[in-house]
Amino acid sequence: MKEQRVCVLGSTGSIGVNTLDVIARHPDTLSVYALSAHSRIEQLAAQAAATGAKVVIVPTDQARSRFRNAWPGSLPLPEIRVGAQALADTAADPQVTTVMAAIVGAAGLPSALAAARAGKRVLLANKEALVAAGGLFMRTVRESGAELLPIDSEHNAIFQCMPQSGGAHAPATPAKGVRRLLLTASGGPFRSTALDQLPDVTPDQACAHPNWSMGRKISVDSATMLNKGLEVIEAHWLFAMPVNQIQVVVHPQSMVHSMVEYEDGSILAQLGQPDMRTPIAYGLGFPERIASGVGLLALTALGRLDFEEPDFARFPCLRLSFDALETGQAACVALNAANEIAVDCFLKQQIRYTEIARVIEACLDRMAGLPATSLDSLDEVLALDAHSRHIASELCLLKA
């Protein structure tokens, strides 16, 4: 494996922590150059001290003071950079070879795009960046010659099952011989909950995923299956695949992480434990395979693998996502933004679980009346994102 100096954006999150775990297993080749956090500043200080990070990025001057106060006096203080622009600048820093884009939400888009523009190896966990700006992002990767490694487990699985002729590039056309992408979904914690109980589910129930341990926002997205919808859009962009060639298959065990179906009738699947260190290690080591700390999958103990059709009536967010992808880029921006607002309100117990889908649908309806914009630039995407958030916030107050 070639030597890499890694910038982990969102290092205090679930993906960030798993990334540092994998990096620590390869001290000869992998080192941490920069880390960022938004709220858990004391955890960031502990991470920076443990990894010897040269740079940390925090959101405010107040967070900078908190970082200083939490810093162990015996060690040299890392450079502390402040603000959203510092995230993008550090992603493009000449000292950095590899960027883990693991900030949650569209807030991670500018820094992920900056990493792509600077031609880095980009390990993309932040799916919202592709949902909001897939065309722009993939074009940027192609033009800069960046290496793009999908970290979302389904897309990492598909990447592993694709013909590997092109390396970690950003294809503009579907791979030859591929008929369909089969995205697996666990169905989340409410796959068989009585429908009349759904309005009363609590944030903690929604965040209790049966198979994966993740941040709270993506956990709620998994419960509503909006996460799978975002992943359909993500797969469309990553693999240049038309929407009618992407199928969602519910697979409650979460051992088959996704599949690629070929013209000759073959289906290739990638299996493994539901542990994000596998796709992270794949992205860091590519094209080599490196140790991740993940145990082997005991197939005989598992015994069976089940597959079911997704239930669009139980999971209206999945249908809304397919509709948005067919409608176009602006609808995808609105879908993502409205979801971020609605999930945040649900986590703060301001709206009910079942109101998340209603807020998204109402926001998409309102946005449908707006004149189409080209969305060729980051500024245009961010302006539409902000407008959608404004509408979604109003709808949450009205409870859609």
* Interacting residue ranges for Mg ion, rule: CB under 5 A: 152-154
Assigned token pair, 266: 């073959």
Question: Closer CB to ligand NAD, residue 237 or residue 362?
Answer: 237
Question: Closer CB to ligand NAD, residue 134 or residue 362?
Answer: 134
Mapped onto helix, strand or coil, the DSSP state of residue 171 is coil
Question: Closer CB to Mg ion, residue 154 or residue 355?
Answer: 154
Q: Look at the chain and count its residues.
A: 400
Task: Name the minimum Å distance from CB 266 to ligand NAD.
Answer: 27
Helix axes 153-161, 277-285, angle to 10 degrees: 50
Question: Closer CB to ligand NAD, residue 315 or residue 362?
Answer: 315
> Which listed option, Mg ion, ligand NAD, none, makes contact with residue 117 (CB within 5 to 8 Å by class)?
none
Task: Name the minimum Å distance from CB 287 to ligand NAD.
Answer: 22
Task: Name the minimum Å distance from CB 58 to ligand NAD.
Answer: 9
Question: Closer CB to ligand NAD, residue 80 or residue 400?
Answer: 80
Question: Closer CB to Mg ion, residue 231 or residue 344?
Answer: 231
Instruction: Give me the residue whose beta carbon is nearest to Mg ion.
Output: 152
Task: Name the minimum Å distance from CB 371 to ligand NAD.
Answer: 29
Q: What angle do CA 99, 59, 213 make, to 5 degrees?
A: 60
Question: Closer CB to ligand NAD, residue 138 or residue 343?
Answer: 343
> Which listed option, ligand NAD, Mg ion, none, makes contact with residue 102 (CB within 5 to 8 Å by class)?
ligand NAD
Mapped onto helix, strand or coil, the DSSP state of residue 41 is helix
> Which listed option, Mg ion, ligand NAD, none, makes contact with residue 215 (CB within 5 to 8 Å by class)?
ligand NAD
> Which listed option, Mg ion, ligand NAD, none, makes contact with residue 104 (CB within 5 to 8 Å by class)?
ligand NAD
Task: Name the minimum Å distance from CB 273 to ligand NAD.
Answer: 12
Question: Closer CB to ligand NAD, residue 103 or residue 148?
Answer: 103
Task: Name the minimum Å distance from CB 303 to Mg ion.
Answer: 24
Binding site for ligand NAD (CB under 6 A): 10-16, 37-39, 102-104, 107, 125-128, 152, 212, 214-215, 217-218, 276
Task: Name the minimum Å distance from CB 48 to Mg ion.
Answer: 28
Distance (Å, whole) CA 233 – CA 55: 33
Residue whose C-alpha is closest to residue 75's, from 52, 42, 47, 43 = 52
| Residues ≥6 apart with Cβ < 8 Å to 142 | 169, 170, 172
- Cα dihedral 386, 391, 397, 400 sign: negative
- Residue carrying the six token digits 């966990």: 125
- Residue carrying the six token digits 């005991």: 298
Task: Name the minimum Å distance from CB 290 to ligand NAD.
Answer: 19
Instruction: Give me the residue whose beta carbon is nearest to ligand NAD.
Output: 13
> Which listed option, ligand NAD, Mg ion, none, makes contact with residue 158 (CB within 5 to 8 Å by class)?
none
Encode 277-315: b = buried (16+ Cβ within 10 Å), e = exposed: bbbbbbbbbbeeeeebebeeeeeeeeeeeeeeebeeebb
The CA-atom distances, in angstroms, between 351 and each of 202, 263, 330 are 10, 46, 25
Distance (Å, whole) CA 329 – CA 236: 12
Do the Cβ atoms of 228 and 145 come closer than 8 Å?
A: no
Bridge partner residues of 328 (DSSP) = none
